[in-house]
Structure 1
Amino acid sequence: GMIMGIGVASMHYTGMAATIFVPHGDVLSDLQVTSDMRLLAFGISGITLFTLSFTIIASITQKEFNLLRGVKNELEVLVQERTKDLKALSTFPSESLDPVFRVDSNNVLIYSNQSGLSVLKYWEGEVGIEIPAPFIQTLNEVQFNGKRKNLEIHLDNQVFVFSIVSIPAMNYCNIYGQDITERKKAESKIEQYAKALERSNNALQEFASIASHDLQEPLRKIITFGNQLKHIPGNSDKRSEDYLNRMQQTAARMQTLILDLLRYSQVHTEAKPPRQINLRNIVDEVIEILEKRISETRGTIIIDSLPALHAQDFQMRELFQNLIGNALKYHREGVYPVIKIKSCQMENQHWKITVEDNGIGFDEKHKNKIFSPFHRLHGRSAYEGTGMGLAICKKIVDRHRGTITAQSTPEKGSTFII
């Protein structure tokens, strides 16, 4: 209709001529009728169709036009990206640093990239002859069945894994190789570490058995015979009594140390499977166990909301007993201990639990050492203990795949963050 409306046609029939309408602004000029009125109807039809087409086009709003233009631009970007991807894929085999082969139905090597040719040199292989023998069996297993199978091959100091893929429709197999030498070395180290860890755990179990029986029995006899010596006539002088007291105190301290070592070794070796527990109930049980010490120190324990966790209940009880017990033990003279326990959920689905006190604190240069076995910041005469409490805490938290750290200011208090 548009073409009919704006075009100029000259028609020459026998004795007849017609001029088709030429639009000029809003006026149609040069209208001539020199033949049949059917030409006039033809011209009017052209104008009508043009006007209708213009009306339809004009009905598209500017917003819709912008939308269409945006879609067009997005399509152009997608086409460019796909073209780039296809180009990369088309050059991949030849440019890949990993070996790539193609083998026909007769196991003849019909293609190899440059990396593959380097590998083939090991067998003096090349394109155009049968693939090296180590590939034959696996190729025969996957040939024409459309399946994939991996084959690991050791070449001197290198290890490769080859993925053999059957393409039945094309009557050939593709072989994609990958150098896994470094991965194998890493796996070997992990295996060595696992064996060393197993030996260590076995040694701890043996120690636990010895500590619970053989080592404690002599100590019990020392303490018992010491008590009997105190009651023998003639051994009641002050010097002898002092020696006996020291002997019994040392034996008792040794017994406590062995029991702490036993607890430390049992964190991994004798722990029950974890289960869903309410941490608030665990802390309440610990407070009940420490009730006498809390009363003696006039301590206050403030507990915020605590979560339900998947954990080993006995170890959680021991963890909080050590932390709360230490907060009560290391309180400042003349200041009643105040212990705050609270928690919050973190973005990574972990829970952050803090145990804060107002005790003597410590210099933060020791914040990593305090979790080592037998490490003490104070003399035995000032505070009792073996230096194993925080080491046990760390081992418990490690076993639950968590972390424990400490923040502290001398004479203001400490915060343990789990």
Structure 2
Amino acid sequence: MTDPRPVIAAVRDGRGLDGPGAALIAQGLADGSVSDAQAGAFAMAVLTRGLGVPGRVALTRAMRDSGHVLQWNLSGPVVDKHSTGGIGDTVSLILAPLLAARGCFVPMISGRGLGHTGGTLDKLEAIPGYLCDQSEADLRRITRQVGCAIVAATAELAPADRRLYAIRDESGTVESIDLITASILSKKLAAGLDALVLDVKSGSGAILQKADSAERLALALVETANGAGCRTAALITDMDQPLARSAGNALEVAEAIRVLQGEPGALRDLTLALATEALALAGQSAEGLAQTLNSGAAAERFARMVAAQGGPSDLLERPEAHLARAPVIRPVSAPAGHVARIDVAALGHAVVALGGGRVRAGERIDPRVGLDNLARLGEAVGPDRPLAMVHAADETAADIAVAAVAAAYHLGDPADPGPLVRARVAP
């Protein structure tokens, strides 16, 4: 092992990071030969001095290559999508089978929720028997047979990121755009993708609430992924209101199933927009994409994926028989008026307080709880139309959630929700 200190000093002094230096750091993170102190110093140097595009590409490639990189020999392109996270964002459950129905292969490696945003794996684990932890061999088998799989990352994929992710939290360097970019992309690109579409959220429910921060991250991700050899584009999308009408794991799965079966709304619209981008990046036509969704072809792929990963074979026919319901369901009443503003992050925190999310990694989640029938910006509410329905484990939790949801909604002049897709970032 070569001494990592000169690499750290070069970044600290603004001389950048080259390929060999990035490889030394990434391999040392993976095998433990870079100490925690050195890893923290490296992360702080990146935060304070930045890497620039070449250094960011070098770090992303090195972290990708610190473990297994999947290779595929399939009859269609290998594509994926990543979202920076929001409330009611259940796109992955619809997008993966939709792309599979169009001849793509989607080995989607996803994560769990932490903080106020939900995680795709937590949603899927609301389905009885669904196994997110699949071996690399099973990921390959399911992807080849079904066309899509949604799984947790294995220990062999981008191990350098797993270590650096924890170091960032401990060293106060979480907000580094360079490190966020390398973290997201190293895991995604380790799946051996031909194309990647990114959904970067902006607004009150996003991790990056300000438009300029979302734009910087989207540009960094697109530049870096393309520099690392994966065709990539990003959509900057609205998170000033929940994407779906529900927030909470079983409730969101039920809504995703309804969209797969033809229900309209923003969740469907954004899924189609992201799928169009993914197909274009993969060199495929998006003509008739909405019809593919309407026809039930995507729903059939979703059902096959659920069954292949251990879930019930009749989930789409009988979702109410498999998705647990909370014992207490209460409306959040409101005076007559129109929704002018929503504190979307507060809605996410209300779900967490109900038990539907986690504050610390490893905490158990209650899949039954959450919110549904959420009012949207500009919508009229009043005695006949509550702001939302709270699904809670007990009356005390319901009382707290009702108050939190009521406080998150602000009534006034009808708000113009603005565009769902705010911008597109492409090379």
Q: Same fold (TM over 0.5)?
A: no
TM-score by length of 2: 0.21
Return the structure number with greater strand share: 1
Return the structure number with greater helix share: 1
